[in-house]
Structure 1
């Protein structure tokens, strides 16, 4: 009995400093996808923390890529703390969670797939931004 395999739900979690330009976010995304041989069209959505709701770079990136951008509260993200590859005290001080990119990616992948998610690309840092990619089957 063969199980029909479907492409995993891949999502990108992003964290950034205030005023981070879209070019920085895009460079980080392109670099991470290229390094892991993932095509841009495989990405289903972007995620971040709700404190970044008004962040122009994130909004612009989502528009450029024509992808939905979903935000999560620090309470929603905190449950993913045990799965983080990196815990940032600075992030915790500023946001109330130890890793925005990784936990946002996990939260969204799990939400979309309604299945447990895992990090496929752990936290990548570049200039003023962080990125992580999670997938759920």
Structure 2
């Protein structure tokens, strides 16, 4: 069995429905041809650590939820495909899903799938290259 090498970054609005976030996460994985078993975990911003949708996806996929501070995510801004001034104004970093995936993937990691959006959530996928 191959070691997991992908990081799934997720972002969502407060009160996002768990099913919406799960459908988005599943879509990104399916579109990339990646199984949940290929993931090292679910990654997001610490402001969403206790968000029911984040917890639900983590539990459904049986993966750890790891959250980073806005300051840590902001360090990924030069690597983002879709930086957002609006996101920065809301949470203090220029992206959550892409930045969280890249933070988890490490300095040599790269995005496999840039930010994909639903009505109230975002998802991105990165591959680790350690």
Tell me the secondary structure at the aligned position of residue 127 of structure 2. Answer: strand
Match of 2:29 among 30, 33, 53: 33
Distance 2:81 2:23 in 1: 22
Is the 8 Å Cα contact of residues 4 and 39 (structure 2) preserved in structure 1?
no
Moved >4 Å (runs of 4+): none
Is the 8 Å Cα contact of residues 109 and 128 (structure 2) preserved in structure 1?
yes
Is the 8 Å Cα contact of residues 33 and 39 (structure 1) preserved in structure 2?
yes
Query: Residue 40 of structure 1: CA displacement?
Result: 2.1
Match of 1:122 in 2: 114
Distance 2:5 2:34 in 1: 12
Distance 1:87 1:66 in 2: 29
Match of 2:17 among 17, 21, 39: 21
1:88-127 C-alpha deviation (Å, 9 max, x unpaired): 12110111101100000111121xxxx5111111000011
Number of residue pairs the alignment of both structures matches: 128
Match of 1:66 in 2: 62
Instruction: Give the alignment's Cα RMSD to 1 decimal.
Output: 1.4
Tell me the secondary structure at the aligned position of residue 116 of structure 2. Answer: strand
Structure 2, unaligned runs of 5 or more: none
TM-aligned CA distance change 1:8 to 1:136, over 3 Å: farther
Larger radius of gyration: 1
Distance 1:126 1:132 in 2: 12
Structure 1, unaligned runs of 5 or more: 1-5
Query: Residue 69 of structure 1: CA displacement?
Result: 0.5
